[in-house]
Protein backbone atom coordinates (compact mmCIF):
# COMPACT_ATOMS: atom_id res chain seq x y z
CA UNK A 1 0.00 0.00 0.00
CA UNK A 2 1.27 3.46 -0.91
CA UNK A 3 1.98 5.83 1.91
CA UNK A 4 -0.34 8.87 2.04
CA UNK A 5 2.44 11.23 1.02
CA UNK A 6 3.48 8.98 -1.86
CA UNK A 7 -0.14 8.51 -2.94
CA UNK A 8 -0.54 12.31 -3.04
CA UNK A 9 2.61 12.62 -5.16
CA UNK A 10 1.38 9.97 -7.60
CA UNK A 11 -2.01 11.66 -7.88
CA UNK A 12 -0.32 15.01 -8.42
CA UNK A 13 1.92 13.53 -11.10
CA UNK A 14 -1.05 11.98 -12.88
CA UNK A 15 -2.98 15.24 -12.66
CA UNK A 16 -0.08 17.24 -14.10
CA UNK A 17 0.29 14.67 -16.90
CA UNK A 18 -3.41 14.92 -17.69
CA UNK A 19 -3.26 18.72 -17.80
CA UNK A 20 -0.25 18.57 -20.12
CA UNK A 21 -2.03 16.16 -22.47
CA UNK A 22 -5.14 18.36 -22.55
CA UNK A 23 -3.00 21.46 -23.10
CA UNK A 24 -1.12 19.86 -26.00
CA UNK A 25 -4.37 18.62 -27.54
CA UNK A 26 -5.90 22.10 -27.35
CA UNK A 27 -2.97 23.54 -29.25
CA UNK A 28 -3.30 21.10 -32.13
CA UNK A 29 -5.04 22.50 -35.22
CA UNK A 30 -7.57 19.73 -35.63
CA UNK A 31 -9.91 20.73 -38.50
CA UNK A 32 -13.45 21.43 -37.39
CA UNK A 33 -14.92 21.95 -40.86
CA UNK A 34 -14.91 19.05 -43.30
CA UNK A 35 -15.15 21.33 -46.30
CA UNK A 36 -15.71 25.03 -46.98
CA UNK A 37 -17.12 26.41 -50.23
CA UNK A 38 -16.60 30.13 -50.84
CA UNK A 39 -18.90 31.49 -53.58
CA UNK A 40 -17.69 34.82 -54.93
CA UNK A 41 -19.97 36.98 -57.10
CA UNK A 42 -18.14 40.03 -58.43
CA UNK A 43 -20.07 43.31 -58.31
CA UNK A 44 -23.05 41.82 -56.39
CA UNK A 45 -24.49 44.96 -54.81
CA UNK A 46 -26.77 45.14 -51.80
CA UNK A 47 -29.43 46.74 -54.02
CA UNK A 48 -29.05 43.87 -56.46
CA UNK A 49 -29.41 41.34 -53.67
CA UNK A 50 -32.52 43.09 -52.34
CA UNK A 51 -34.12 43.46 -55.79
CA UNK A 52 -33.30 40.36 -57.83
CA UNK A 53 -35.12 37.05 -57.46
CA UNK A 54 -32.71 34.46 -56.10
CA UNK A 55 -34.67 31.62 -54.50
CA UNK A 56 -31.67 29.28 -54.42
CA UNK A 57 -29.44 31.75 -52.57
CA UNK A 58 -32.35 32.37 -50.20
CA UNK A 59 -32.83 28.65 -49.58
CA UNK A 60 -29.09 28.09 -49.04
CA UNK A 61 -28.69 30.79 -46.40
CA UNK A 62 -32.12 30.88 -44.77
CA UNK A 63 -30.71 28.76 -41.96
CA UNK A 64 -27.47 30.75 -41.76
CA UNK A 65 -26.22 34.25 -41.01
CA UNK A 66 -26.62 37.14 -43.46
CA UNK A 67 -25.02 40.56 -43.26
CA UNK A 68 -26.49 43.47 -45.22
CA UNK A 69 -24.03 45.98 -43.78
CA UNK A 70 -20.61 44.55 -44.68
CA UNK A 71 -18.14 47.15 -45.93
CA UNK A 72 -15.65 46.81 -48.73
CA UNK A 73 -12.04 47.82 -48.24
CA UNK A 74 -10.95 50.98 -50.03
CA UNK A 75 -10.80 51.52 -52.89
CA UNK A 76 -14.05 49.74 -53.76
CA UNK A 77 -12.53 47.99 -56.78
CA UNK A 78 -12.04 44.36 -57.67
CA UNK A 79 -8.52 43.14 -56.99
CA UNK A 80 -7.95 44.92 -53.65
CA UNK A 81 -11.19 43.52 -52.27
CA UNK A 82 -10.81 39.92 -53.42
CA UNK A 83 -7.26 39.99 -52.10
CA UNK A 84 -8.62 41.18 -48.76
CA UNK A 85 -11.30 38.47 -48.68
CA UNK A 86 -8.73 35.73 -49.26
CA UNK A 87 -5.87 37.09 -47.16
CA UNK A 88 -7.27 38.88 -44.10
CA UNK A 89 -5.37 42.08 -44.80
CA UNK A 90 -6.35 45.45 -46.20
CA UNK A 91 -4.56 47.16 -49.10
CA UNK A 92 -2.15 48.77 -46.65
CA UNK A 93 -1.15 45.25 -45.54
CA UNK A 94 -1.24 43.22 -48.77
CA UNK A 95 -0.17 46.08 -51.04
CA UNK A 96 -2.83 45.59 -53.73
CA UNK A 97 -4.33 49.02 -54.41
CA UNK A 98 -5.79 48.55 -57.89
CA UNK A 99 -6.60 46.14 -60.69
CA UNK A 100 -3.25 46.72 -62.37
CA UNK A 101 -1.23 45.06 -59.60
CA UNK A 102 1.56 42.79 -60.76
CA UNK A 103 3.82 40.69 -58.60
CA UNK A 104 6.90 42.18 -60.24
CA UNK A 105 5.47 45.70 -60.66
CA UNK A 106 3.84 47.35 -57.67
CA UNK A 107 4.74 50.41 -55.58
CA UNK A 108 4.48 48.91 -52.10
CA UNK A 109 5.48 45.43 -50.97
CA UNK A 110 3.24 43.43 -48.63
CA UNK A 111 3.96 43.73 -44.92
CA UNK A 112 4.55 39.98 -44.83
CA UNK A 113 5.71 37.72 -47.66
CA UNK A 114 6.21 34.03 -48.21
CA UNK A 115 9.36 32.64 -49.83
CA UNK A 116 8.09 33.60 -53.29
CA UNK A 117 7.13 37.15 -52.32
CA UNK A 118 3.36 36.73 -51.93
CA UNK A 119 1.26 38.02 -49.04
CA UNK A 120 0.02 35.02 -46.99
CA UNK A 121 -3.41 33.89 -48.17
CA UNK A 122 -5.99 31.69 -46.48
CA UNK A 123 -4.82 28.90 -48.80
CA UNK A 124 -1.31 29.10 -47.34
CA UNK A 125 -2.63 29.20 -43.79
CA UNK A 126 -4.78 26.09 -44.17
CA UNK A 127 -1.99 24.24 -45.97
CA UNK A 128 0.50 25.11 -43.22
CA UNK A 129 -1.86 23.93 -40.50
CA UNK A 130 -3.67 21.00 -42.15
CA UNK A 131 -1.29 19.09 -44.44
CA UNK A 132 -4.06 16.82 -45.78
CA UNK A 133 -6.32 19.66 -46.95
CA UNK A 134 -7.11 20.07 -50.65
CA UNK A 135 -7.68 23.54 -52.13
CA UNK A 136 -9.33 24.64 -55.37
CA UNK A 137 -9.55 28.01 -57.12
CA UNK A 138 -12.02 28.55 -60.01
CA UNK A 139 -12.33 31.93 -61.72
CA UNK A 140 -13.17 33.77 -64.96
CA UNK A 141 -11.52 37.19 -64.63
CA UNK A 142 -7.96 36.64 -65.73
CA UNK A 143 -6.10 38.97 -63.35
CA UNK A 144 -7.83 37.72 -60.21
CA UNK A 145 -5.32 35.03 -59.30
CA UNK A 146 -2.23 37.23 -59.58
CA UNK A 147 -1.88 38.13 -55.85
CA UNK A 148 -2.13 34.47 -54.75
CA UNK A 149 0.65 31.92 -54.68
CA UNK A 150 -0.55 28.93 -56.71
CA UNK A 151 1.86 26.73 -54.75
CA UNK A 152 -0.89 26.43 -52.13
CA UNK A 153 -3.62 25.49 -54.62
CA UNK A 154 -4.19 21.88 -55.66
CA UNK A 155 -6.48 22.75 -58.56
CA UNK A 156 -6.75 26.01 -60.52
CA UNK A 157 -9.15 26.42 -63.43
CA UNK A 158 -9.92 29.49 -65.53
CA UNK A 159 -12.94 29.84 -67.82
CA UNK A 160 -12.92 32.29 -70.72
CA UNK A 161 -15.49 34.90 -71.85
CA UNK A 162 -17.32 35.34 -68.53
CA UNK A 163 -18.47 31.72 -68.66
CA UNK A 164 -18.73 29.90 -65.33
CA UNK A 165 -20.76 26.74 -65.93
CA UNK A 166 -17.75 24.47 -66.34
CA UNK A 167 -16.10 25.95 -63.27
CA UNK A 168 -19.09 24.96 -61.16
CA UNK A 169 -18.86 21.43 -62.50
CA UNK A 170 -15.10 21.29 -61.95
CA UNK A 171 -15.51 22.48 -58.36
CA UNK A 172 -18.17 19.83 -57.78
CA UNK A 173 -15.91 17.11 -59.20
CA UNK A 174 -13.05 18.31 -56.99
CA UNK A 175 -15.23 18.21 -53.88
CA UNK A 176 -16.47 14.71 -54.70
CA UNK A 177 -12.96 13.45 -55.43
CA UNK A 178 -11.69 14.80 -52.10
CA UNK A 179 -14.75 14.08 -49.98
CA UNK A 180 -12.74 12.14 -47.40
CA UNK A 181 -10.25 14.93 -46.62
CA UNK A 182 -10.67 18.58 -45.55
CA UNK A 183 -11.37 20.76 -48.58
CA UNK A 184 -11.43 24.50 -49.31
CA UNK A 185 -12.87 25.76 -52.61
CA UNK A 186 -13.16 29.30 -54.02
CA UNK A 187 -15.77 29.46 -56.78
CA UNK A 188 -15.88 32.87 -58.46
CA UNK A 189 -17.67 34.60 -61.33
CA UNK A 190 -17.25 38.12 -62.79
CA UNK A 191 -20.29 38.22 -65.08
CA UNK A 192 -22.52 40.21 -62.68
CA UNK A 193 -19.89 42.95 -62.47
CA UNK A 194 -19.50 43.04 -66.25
CA UNK A 195 -23.27 43.36 -66.68
CA UNK A 196 -23.12 46.42 -64.41
CA UNK A 197 -20.29 47.98 -66.40
CA UNK A 198 -21.98 47.31 -69.73
CA UNK A 199 -25.59 48.14 -68.81
CA UNK A 200 -25.39 49.95 -65.43
CA UNK A 201 -25.89 48.61 -61.94
CA UNK A 202 -29.56 47.82 -61.31
CA UNK A 203 -30.34 47.66 -65.04
CA UNK A 204 -32.55 44.75 -66.24
CA UNK A 205 -29.45 43.08 -67.65
CA UNK A 206 -27.66 43.36 -64.31
CA UNK A 207 -30.59 41.85 -62.41
CA UNK A 208 -30.80 39.05 -64.99
CA UNK A 209 -27.12 38.24 -64.44
CA UNK A 210 -27.80 37.73 -60.70
CA UNK A 211 -30.85 35.58 -61.38
CA UNK A 212 -28.95 33.44 -63.88
CA UNK A 213 -26.17 32.58 -61.45
CA UNK A 214 -28.76 31.85 -58.77
CA UNK A 215 -30.00 29.02 -60.98
CA UNK A 216 -26.47 27.65 -61.32
CA UNK A 217 -25.95 27.86 -57.55
CA UNK A 218 -29.16 25.90 -57.06
CA UNK A 219 -28.02 23.17 -59.46
CA UNK A 220 -24.64 23.02 -57.72
CA UNK A 221 -26.27 22.61 -54.29
CA UNK A 222 -28.62 19.87 -55.54
CA UNK A 223 -25.64 17.92 -56.90
CA UNK A 224 -23.83 18.27 -53.57
CA UNK A 225 -26.92 16.92 -51.84
CA UNK A 226 -27.05 13.97 -54.23
CA UNK A 227 -23.43 13.18 -53.37
CA UNK A 228 -24.11 13.41 -49.64
CA UNK A 229 -21.82 16.46 -49.32
CA UNK A 230 -24.29 19.15 -48.31
CA UNK A 231 -25.12 18.80 -44.62
CA UNK A 232 -21.52 18.85 -43.37
CA UNK A 233 -20.30 21.63 -45.70
CA UNK A 234 -19.85 25.27 -44.72
CA UNK A 235 -20.87 27.79 -47.38
CA UNK A 236 -19.97 31.46 -47.69
CA UNK A 237 -21.20 33.89 -50.34
CA UNK A 238 -19.60 37.31 -50.67
CA UNK A 239 -18.65 40.03 -53.12
CA UNK A 240 -16.03 42.69 -53.67
CA UNK A 241 -18.13 45.84 -54.19
CA UNK A 242 -21.40 47.26 -55.47
CA UNK A 243 -21.73 49.93 -58.13
CA UNK A 244 -23.44 53.09 -59.30
CA UNK A 245 -24.13 54.00 -62.89
CA UNK A 246 -21.62 52.09 -64.99
CA UNK A 247 -18.84 51.94 -62.43
CA UNK A 248 -17.50 51.69 -58.91
CA UNK A 249 -14.47 52.67 -56.88
CA UNK A 250 -15.95 55.50 -54.85
CA UNK A 251 -17.35 55.75 -51.35
CA UNK A 252 -21.11 55.80 -51.92
CA UNK A 253 -23.35 53.41 -50.02
CA UNK A 254 -24.14 51.68 -53.31
CA UNK A 255 -20.45 50.90 -53.84
CA UNK A 256 -19.26 50.31 -50.27
CA UNK A 257 -22.04 48.34 -48.53
CA UNK A 258 -22.42 44.75 -49.70
CA UNK A 259 -24.05 41.45 -48.70
CA UNK A 260 -22.08 38.69 -46.95
CA UNK A 261 -23.44 35.26 -45.93
CA UNK A 262 -22.42 32.08 -44.14
CA UNK A 263 -24.07 28.79 -43.15
CA UNK A 264 -23.07 25.36 -41.93
CA UNK A 265 -22.59 23.28 -38.80
CA UNK A 266 -22.13 25.42 -35.71
CA UNK A 267 -23.34 28.60 -37.43
CA UNK A 268 -26.33 30.52 -36.09
CA UNK A 269 -29.52 29.94 -38.05
CA UNK A 270 -31.92 32.47 -39.52
CA UNK A 271 -29.98 35.40 -38.15
CA UNK A 272 -28.96 38.85 -39.37
CA UNK A 273 -25.38 39.79 -38.60
CA UNK A 274 -25.51 43.11 -36.79
CA UNK A 275 -21.89 43.34 -35.64
CA UNK A 276 -19.47 45.32 -37.84
CA UNK A 277 -18.11 43.30 -40.76
CA UNK A 278 -15.55 43.94 -43.47
CA UNK A 279 -14.30 42.14 -46.56
CA UNK A 280 -11.02 41.79 -44.66
CA UNK A 281 -12.72 39.45 -42.14
CA UNK A 282 -13.55 36.59 -44.48
CA UNK A 283 -10.22 34.74 -44.30
CA UNK A 284 -10.23 34.92 -40.50
CA UNK A 285 -13.70 33.35 -40.44
CA UNK A 286 -12.56 30.54 -42.75
CA UNK A 287 -9.45 29.92 -40.65
CA UNK A 288 -11.66 29.66 -37.57
CA UNK A 289 -13.93 27.16 -39.34
CA UNK A 290 -10.92 24.89 -39.73
CA UNK A 291 -9.93 25.32 -36.09
CA UNK A 292 -6.98 27.57 -36.87
CA UNK A 293 -6.47 30.31 -34.30
CA UNK A 294 -2.97 31.45 -35.23
CA UNK A 295 -3.03 33.77 -38.27
CA UNK A 296 -0.36 36.07 -39.76
CA UNK A 297 0.63 38.99 -37.56
CA UNK A 298 -0.26 41.56 -40.22
CA UNK A 299 -3.78 40.26 -40.82
CA UNK A 300 -6.37 42.76 -39.61
CA UNK A 301 -9.36 40.49 -40.19
CA UNK A 302 -11.24 39.05 -37.24
CA UNK A 303 -14.30 36.91 -36.66
CA UNK A 304 -17.37 39.11 -36.12
CA UNK A 305 -19.46 38.28 -33.07
CA UNK A 306 -22.79 36.62 -33.76
CA UNK A 307 -21.69 34.04 -36.35
CA UNK A 308 -20.84 30.97 -34.31
CA UNK A 309 -23.14 29.25 -31.85
CA UNK A 310 -21.81 29.05 -28.32
CA UNK A 311 -20.35 25.65 -27.47
**Given this structure, which CATH class describes domain 31-289?**
alpha beta
Question: pLDDT per residue over 119-162, tens digit each?
Answer: 999 999 999 999 999 999 999 999 999 999 999 999 999 999 99
pLDDT at 311: 63
CA distance 69 to 260: 8
Question: pLDDT per residue over 251-268, tens digit each?
Answer: 999 999 999 999 999 999
Lowest mean pLDDT: which of 26-40, 139-153, 171-185, 220-234? 26-40
Query: What is the strand order of the sheet 155-158 is part of?
Result: 155-158, 134-139, 183-189, 35-41, 233-238, 257-263, 65-71, 271-272
Residues near 83 by beta carbon (within 8 Å), at least 6 away in sequence: 89, 91, 94, 96, 119, 147, 148
pLDDT at 12: 45
- The pTM for the full model equals 0.89
Q: Mean pLDDT, to the nearest integer, of 182-210? A: 98
pLDDT at 17: 42
Give the rounded percent of residues in the chain with a pLDDT score beyond 70: 90
pLDDT at 310: 75
pLDDT at 220: 98
Q: Mean pLDDT, to the nearest integer, of 10-19? A: 41
Residue 7 has pLDDT above 80, yes or no: no
15 - beta bridge partners?
none
Amino acid sequence: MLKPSMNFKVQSFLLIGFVLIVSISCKQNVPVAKRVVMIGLDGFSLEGYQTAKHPNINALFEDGVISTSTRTVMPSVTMPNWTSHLTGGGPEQHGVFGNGWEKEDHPLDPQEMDAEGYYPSIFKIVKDNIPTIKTGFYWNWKSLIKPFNERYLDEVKFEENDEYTQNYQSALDFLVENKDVPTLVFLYSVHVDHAGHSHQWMSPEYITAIEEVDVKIGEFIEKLKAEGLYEDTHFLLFTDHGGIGNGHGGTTVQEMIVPWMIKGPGIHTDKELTSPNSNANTAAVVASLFGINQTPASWIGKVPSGIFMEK
